[in-house]
Amino acid sequence: MIPLITVLKALSDETRFRLLELLLAKNLCGKALAGSLGISEAAVSQHLKVLKEAGLVEGEKRGYWMHYSVQQESLKQVIHELERLARQSSVPTDRCFRMYAESKGYEGKEVKAMCQCCCERPEKLKGKPEECTPQQIKECHGDVKGHPCQGRRKEGK
């Protein structure tokens, strides 16, 4: 299966989403799609290319025209994946989300930029990380050795 993020990016454009809706109702050629949406055939072609690369649409040559249809199985897989995400347990509310994300193996700039001091509960932060009591660390970060924020620089500095 094509990565879910690729599919969601393809569907994030209103025109592509409308194309998908039209194709769910009926298989259509590029000219008919352009006429229905009031855009050029070239624009339709570019949008269909993105939808095809995301695995959502396929084309079939019929005479001179290419007719497009939705790949139902791919769409069902996307729905299944989104339902799986919706069923996942939520992040524990008793811990810093950044620490939770890192413990689950999520890395990258999104996690690093998640919060300024690694703590989503700044009201519990009584001063600098090195001034936190063991109880404060446990309340915010769970059972960890030392303060996870120590030694980290704030992003953008």
pLDDT single digits (tens) 117-136: 455 555 555 566 667 777 77
Torsional class of 52: left (φ above 0), alpha (ψ -120 to 50), beta (otherwise) = alpha
What is the four-CA torsion angle of 101, 104, 4, 109, rounded to 10 degrees?
40
Report the relative pairing of strands 28-29 and 57-62 from DSSP bridges.
unpaired
Same structural domain for residues 11 and 55?
yes
In terms of domains, do 8 and 67 share one?
yes
List the domain range (segments joined by +) for residue 60. Answer: 4-77
Structural domain contains residue 48: yes
Residue 41, domain member (yes or no): yes
- Look at the pTM and tell me if it is higher than 0.75: no
The shares of helix, strand and coil residues in the chain, as percent rounded to the nearest 5, are: 50, 10, 40
Q: Both tokens of residue 148?
A: 């996870």
Same domain (yes/no): 101, 45: no
What CATH number should be reported for the domain holding residue 52?
Answer: 1.10.10.10
Over 60: is that where the pLDDT of 69 sits? yes
From 87, 92, 95, 18, select the one nearest 57 (Cα to Cα): 18
For residues 10 and 72, state if they share a domain: yes
Cβ of 13: how many Cβ atoms within 10 Å? 13
* 120 Cβ contact partners less than 8 Å away, ≥ 6 residues apart: 96, 97, 98, 114
Four-residue CA torsion sign, 83, 87, 93, 99: negative
Q: What percentage of the chain reaches a pLDDT higher than 70?
A: 62
Rounded CA-CA distance 70/91 in Å is 35
Residue 148 forms part of a structural domain: no
Domains held by the chain: number = 2
Residue 20 confidence (pLDDT) = 96
Average pLDDT in the chain: 79
Do 72 and 102 sit in the same domain of this protein? no
End position of a domain, from candidates 44, 77, 110: 77
Residue 147 placed within a domain:
no
